[in-house]
Amino acid sequence: MATAASTIKVEIKRQSTPDAHATTEKFEIPYRPGMNITSLLGEIALNPVDVSGKPTTPITYDSNCLEEICGSCAMLINGKARMACSALVDKLTGPNKDQTITLAPLSKFPVVRDLSVDRSVLFENLKKVKAWVPIDGSYDLGAGPRQAPQIQEQRYPLSNCISCTICMEVCPQFNDVTNFVGAATIAQAKLFNMDPSGSVLKEERLRALAGDGGIQECGFAQNCVQACPKQLPLTEAISDMGRDVFIQQVKDLFAR
């Protein structure tokens, strides 16, 4: 029974600097019903002592909103990429609360320290596809153009992206060889291409996705849509953008 468990066993992959050798530390944390991984790491911070009683340092990790909105607390939990704030301890330790929880940083991004990684590649990719609405000044531009309800319904799910990079972590094509921009970037390109004001950069976005590491690198494994914590229609966005990229390439070919 859950109430019989006095402690939770945790193994955490640690790395003090980006170039340091990775080690694993074990902890036993007092059990409380309703704990998530973020609160578990907070317990270690309150008493940073490993399972052998040796003093250590608190675990470094990223966290902010605590409600699966900011996207910063993504990590590998029991080998699966997910958000620490929504990963409940009761569901990770088995019915008898005797299974060890393992925590590790996302594997496809440079480690900053412990569970914190550098995910700036996502934001560099978003810059490549100009994932924004262009504004040419700070003056009042008046009301924005109206959008049909059908377009709003298509755009809203894409706007829920929290930049957690889980889709990139689970993607077999996202690696140093392909330089694939990843599903999140492609979905945001679609989001802004459908925006009445953002569509002015549509052709530039499509040409960017036709370049190195672009949409042609997607193997359509569909890992991204299964792992996305916000249930974004990522494979649909990739399919639609693949069509639009091809059409743009044909247009550019005949425009020469």
126-156 confidence digits (pLDDT tens): 999 999 998 878 888 888 888 899 999 999 9
Looking only at the bridges linking them, the beta strands covering 80-83 and 116-117 are: unpaired
Tokens read off for 218? 């997607």
The one-letter amino acid at 53? G
Instruction: Give the model confidence (pLDDT) of 85-115 as tens digits.
Output: 999 999 999 877 789 999 999 999 999 999 9
Question: Of all residues in the chain, what percent carry a pLDDT higher than 90?
Answer: 87
pLDDT number for residue 1:
40
Please state the rounded mean pLDDT for residues 56-73: 95
Q: Which of 171, 208, 211 is nearest to 189 (CA)?
A: 208
Looking at every residue in the chain, the average pLDDT score rounds to: 94
Question: Of all residues in the chain, what percent carry a pLDDT higher than 70?
Answer: 98
The C-alpha R_g of the chain, in whole angstroms, comes to 22
66 vs 64: CA distance, rounded Å: 6
Q: Which of 103, 92, 98, 79 is nearest to 35 (CA)?
A: 92
Instruction: Categorise residue 53: left if φ over 0, alpha if ψ from -120 to 50, beta otherwise.
Output: left
pLDDT number for residue 139:
84
Q: Report CA-CA distances (Å) from 63 to 41, 168, 188.
A: 11, 19, 23
pLDDT number for residue 97:
77
End-to-end CA distance of the chain: 71
In this prediction, residue 256 has a pLDDT band, given cuts at 50, 70 and 90, of: confident
Please state the rounded mean pLDDT for residues 65-86: 96
- pLDDT above 50 for 72: yes
